[in-house]
Amino acid sequence: MLLSSLWIWTTCLILGASAQSTQGILDLVQRRLPDHVNDFEFQLVTNGTGNITEPSNDNYIVSSTADGKILVAGNSLSALSSGLHRYLTDVVHVDIFWYIGSQLDVGPSTLPTLNSPITGSSIVPWRYHFNTVTFSYTAAFWKWEDWELELDWLALRGVNLPLAWVGQEKVLLDVFQEIGMTDDEIIPFFSGPAFQAWNRFGNIQGSWGGQLPIEWIDNQFELQKNVTKRMVELGMTPVLPCFTGFVPRTISRVLPNATIVNGSDWSGFPVEYTNVTFLEPVDPTFAVLQKSFISKQAESLGNITHIYTLDQYNENNPYSGDLDYLRNVSYNTWQSLKAADPEAIWMMQGWLFFSLSSFWTNDRIEAYLGGVENDSDMIVIDLFSETAPQWQRTNSYFGKPWLWCQLHDFGGNLGLYGQIMNVTINPIEALANSSSLIGFGLTMEGQEGNEIMYDLLLDQAWSESPIETATYFSNWVTRRYAGNGVVTNDLYTAWEMMRTTVYNNTNSTVQAVTKSIFELEPNITGMFRTGHHSTTITYSPNILIEAYTLMFNASKTNPDLWNNPAYQYDMVDVTRQVFSNSFDGIYRSLIAAYTSSNASNTTISSIGKNMTSLLTTLESVLLTNSAFSLSTWLSAARAASTNTTLESFYEYNARNQITLWGPDGEINDYASKSWGGLLSGYYVPRWQTFVDYLMDVPLASYNYTELNEKFLGFELNWQEQGVNGTVQQGSQVGSLQNILEGVGRWI
């Protein structure tokens, strides 16, 4: 029943809107395959019974027509783009990738015909994409062109439910102005360009290093108009923001009697930046602000959705754990949504039930979710399903529709990592065991490498049984390296080795993408971590060296691979991981030397030189690729303004997020990156400081607090290095091929 009403709504939206036009898909072909616009035909068809009260999945049929065209027929725009993708990947063997771009046009000039049609049916109606924080970790400084690539990537991979979370500060500003607040009362509440996600769900407030300018607020909202319009053209249902309850403290001037409470502290931030003020949903003004937000947003973006993202307790403790209190909060929040949009559906991330599981007992979860009295008015995102699913213990969220999602990484960390078994087997088991599961999705904190893991789950949404990963990897490799001659056996073998090791983690103590210890503040203990910020790998480092060697050798058979952007990216990425694994060994020898009874400066110093030498060599590899360069991130930040003061503020934000993460290192190194420019400019100096300290101070006098002060002084200084407008480039010392020819010493 509950699924049916959700379905009626969706179908009506699709049939009711001009989305019936296939123009959005034709435009995609025009953008990515301009030479083949006349080779494709797209047809929307009503499928089967045509009974819209039955939940129906998307399906497509791709065939060749008598006049030699490729005809893609499907029951939704998402079905059409998915069918197109299936033809391009399985028949033409080309694809579009993150960090590499569209390679869809490298196929033959005459497209292959099909002897028999290809059909596909999704097994879930919804395919979701984005974590709220992806908008800050990955997309904070994206331009429209970056969004265009992303949205084509999503459409082709069948995503039909993306979060659209750009630029909502504009709507919020208007809402607060309407009740009489001044800009001086509102703007200081907003966080900087690289930290907006956490401000939006009430972890932090305010901005360090500068104040968010109106220019940013306006530009981002303009960008949001483009993003949401394109999503609709591509047949997606955008998930839009709404009023959450988080407000500036100064709101009490205009609403002196409002029921407000201070939220809890987040991650040790000073009170001025956290303990965010929350307007209780029971207060009548909550509904007023909700209606104002939703109607202003619809005036600007159109009536394009009824699904709203709304997280109130994401890493915040509720004011009270009382069951009636929790039920009242969600009941009134729900009522406010319904009053603003009678068809509103509230989407929330279920992360809190995992991260604050001691607070969120089952009776509290049931009370909070139960405040939304119609199950079909809510969708819960099971955010970390591959590792820490919560749907079983909550009895499928007590009947609320929910999404099975792969989180995979934290903070956009870069290690090679995957759980091919849990990502293929578990969602199929969940579908068989939970009647309210309505979709699969990707909730990575940052989009990073390991793209095959993301493809795998989105493809699993079109396969009734767990995907057989050996064939899957092999096919993926074929299209990954398309366009530069033969894809040699070495490449297939290398990926097969990685499939069964790097991408087959089954050790539940290592829960997500690993990060390199050289990205952490050095210490004599505590560097090898497990859990969801693991620095520990679960495969033999030698396996990856073998895979690296095979990949490198592939270029001996086919030297043109050096011109292939996917090969360039993957060689850098695998080299990065091999060096990272090697660094672990050098670190261990350093600590062994320091803690041995006959510790000597000579030994410590020579190991220290080895460390620096490894990192400097890796830096030169990373700098050959813009996807692994600090300057790409910093330049994008600066490019968001033409005003030099603002450029410097944006760059400060960009630097701070990937290093100190907070004015004084509140979640230091959480979003660390192995990027050229960062190794030489940041990590090497920290390790040098460490090695010097080990030489100066014998083990008996080792004092971490003292060492930590040295680090912090350096780190704070590094934040400011962008003020004079010179983006730290690092200097590239040669071609990737030449550099890799010379790294034998490390491999």
Ligand X SMILES: *[C@@H]1O[C@H](CO)[C@@H](O)[C@H](O)[C@H]1NC(C)=O
User: In sequence order, what are the beta bridge partners of 101?
Assistant: 97
List the structure tokens of 541.
């480092």
Draw the binding track, 470-509, toward ligand X (x: CB under 6 A; -: no contact). Answer: ------------------------------x---xxxxxx
**705 lies in the site for ligand X, by CB under 6 A:** no
**721 lies in the site for ligand X, by CB under 6 A:** no
Buried b (16+ CB within 10 A) or exposed e, 676-711: bbbbbbbbbebbbbbbebbbeeeeeebeeeebeeeb
CA distances from 562 to 84, 149, 257, 339, 574 (A): 29, 24, 67, 58, 15
Among 279, 586, 621, 691, binds ligand X (CB under 6 A): 586
Least Å from the CB of residue 610 to ligand X? 4
Among 362, 560, 704, 726, binds ligand X (CB under 6 A): 704
Least Å from the CB of residue 295 to ligand X? 8
Pick the closest to residue 743 from 588, 629, 650, 614 (CA basis): 614
Q: Which stretch binds ligand X (CB under 6 A): 49-57, 86-94, 329-337, 471-479?
A: 49-57
Using the structure block, give the residue that is written with the tokens 């009023």: 243
DSSP state, 522? Answer: P
What are the DSSP calls for 73-116, one per residue? EESSHHHHHHHHHHHIIIII---EETTTEE-GGGS-SSPPP-SS
Draw the binding track, 262-301, toward ligand X (x: CB under 6 A; -: no contact). Answer: x-xx-----x---x----------------------xx--
In angstroms, the CA 601 to CA 257 distance is: 67
Among 64, 211, 536, 553, binds ligand X (CB under 6 A): 536
**257 lies in the site for ligand X, by CB under 6 A:** yes
What are the DSSP calls for 361-391, one per residue? -HHHHHHHHHTS-SGGGEEEEETTTTTS--T
Draw the binding track, 606-625, toward ligand X (x: CB under 6 A; -: no contact). Answer: xx--x---------------
Q: Which residue is nearest to ligand X (CB)?
A: 48
| Phi (first) and psi of residue 579, to 5 degrees | -65, -40
Q: Which stretch binds ligand X (CB under 6 A): 187-195, 518-526, 539-547, 656-664?
A: 518-526
Q: Interface residues for ligand X in 136-175 (CB under 6 A)?
A: 144
Least Å from the CB of residue 98 to ligand X? 20
Per DSSP bridges, beta strands 277-279 and 246-247 are antiparallel
In the bound state with ligand X, the residue whose beta carbon lies nearer, of 87 and 567, is 87
In angstroms, the CA 283 to CA 336 distance is: 11
On the CB side of 103, CA atoms within 13 Å amount to 22
Pick the closest to residue 408 from 379, 382, 446 (CA basis): 446
Q: Interface residues for ligand X in 296-355 (CB under 6 A)?
A: 298-299, 302-303
Q: Is the Cβ–Cβ distance between 6 and 401 less than 8 Å?
A: yes
On the CB side of 301, CA atoms within 13 Å amount to 35
Residue 124 identity (one-letter amino acid):
V
In the bound state with ligand X, the residue whose beta carbon lies nearer, of 565 and 663, is 663
**642 lies in the site for ligand X, by CB under 6 A:** no
Q: Which stretch binds ligand X (CB under 6 A): 173-181, 184-192, 218-226, 438-446?
A: 218-226
Among 585, 713, 725, 742, binds ligand X (CB under 6 A): 585
Alpha helices in 623-724 (DSSP H): 630-638, 644-658, 678, 684-696, 704-719
Least Å from the CB of residue 728 to ligand X? 27
Q: Is the Cβ–Cβ distance between 149 and 462 less than 8 Å?
A: no
Least Å from the CB of residue 564 to ligand X? 27
Q: Is the Cβ–Cβ distance between 132 and 311 less than 8 Å?
A: yes
Least Å from the CB of residue 629 to ligand X? 23
Least Å from the CB of residue 114 to ligand X? 15
Burial category of 630 from C-beta neighbours within 10 Å (exposed 0-12, middle 13-18, buried 19 and up):
buried
In angstroms, the CA 24 to CA 32 distance is: 13
Q: Which stretch binds ligand X (CB under 6 A): 280-288, 521-529, 617-625, 679-687?
A: 521-529
Sign, Cα dihedral of 190, 191, 193, 198 = negative
In the bound state with ligand X, the residue whose beta carbon lies nearer, of 199 and 505, is 505
Among 103, 138, 387, 436, binds ligand X (CB under 6 A): 387
Q: Interface residues for ligand X in 56-85 (CB under 6 A)?
A: 56, 59
User: In sequence order, what are the beta bridge partners of 102?
Assistant: 96
Q: Which stretch binds ligand X (CB under 6 A): 93-101, 376-384, 519-527, 633-641?
A: 519-527
In the bound state with ligand X, the residue whose beta carbon lies nearer, of 313 and 569, is 313
Least Å from the CB of residue 747 to ligand X? 9
Least Å from the CB of residue 252 to ligand X? 10
Least Å from the CB of residue 264 to ligand X? 3
In angstroms, the CA 206 to CA 273 distance is: 6
Least Å from the CB of residue 381 to ligand X? 16
Q: Which stretch binds ligand X (CB under 6 A): 32-40, 77-85, 182-190, 599-607?
A: 599-607
DSSP reduced 3-state for 437: strand
**49 lies in the site for ligand X, by CB under 6 A:** yes
In angstroms, the CA 593 to CA 601 distance is: 9
Using the structure block, give the residue that is written with the tokens 């579009």: 96
In the bound state with ligand X, the residue whose beta carbon lies nearer, of 387 and 657, is 387
Draw the binding track, 401-440, toward ligand X (x: CB under 6 A; -: no contact). Answer: ------------------x-xx---x--------------
Number of amino acids touching ligand X (CB under 6 A): 62
Q: Given the rule CB under 6 A, which residues bind ligand X? A: 47-49, 51, 53-54, 56, 59, 119, 121, 144, 219, 222-223, 226, 256-257, 262, 264-265, 271, 275, 298-299, 302-303, 387, 389, 419, 421-422, 426, 469, 500, 504-511, 523-526, 530, 536, 538, 582, 585-586, 589, 601, 606-607, 610, 692, 695-696, 704, 746
